[in-house]
Structure 1
């Protein structure tokens, strides 16, 4: 997994002249809601853990999985798997239902599914672009 590294600021990366679009700035300042931004950050935090991202990806692919199946795919204990699933559920990324003696998990909604699919598509395009260079 690659880490983000800070690079020195290049002259091409900063404006040479300051020109501020006041109308646009005002529109953005009134549009950006801190509580919404923090909620978005929480979703990305939850998915920033590789195990939880694997779980979300599995649920996107399979639509529904019981805790036993998720544990088997991950090769981890039921306790560890349940911990990650509970964290995803608490962040409103997954939902669960009891079916007999099993607990079945799925992604909460299509927004999460779209986020996962778009992120994967972006990653694959990035990888393809890097291979072409």
Structure 2
């Protein structure tokens, strides 16, 4: 995956975490990219006991070293507001650009901001910013 990411993917990494609810408990941390066909490209994943700044820092340090990302000067990280993720990314990749995931923003807003028309307008605005 490392050899596939470097020459073929944009320097944009999506980071997210999720609970594991089966036999294995804990959190799954994942990093994905987008390839030349605009398809998701899995980069790395790890299972950790809990999601925290320390586990995100550890995960991103491995990404930085394995992918030769340095301080992240040409890197964009997209995420939601995971526990400790933003502060860990600022520490590990001080020169990267950080963006919030539009789908997660809409999901958070939908709790008090409902309706199909507003949803359509949100996506119209989100697409216009690209």
Instruction: Give TM class, smaller chain.
Output: under 0.3
The TM-score, its normalising length taken from structure 2, stands at 0.27
- The TM-score, its normalising length taken from structure 1, stands at 0.27
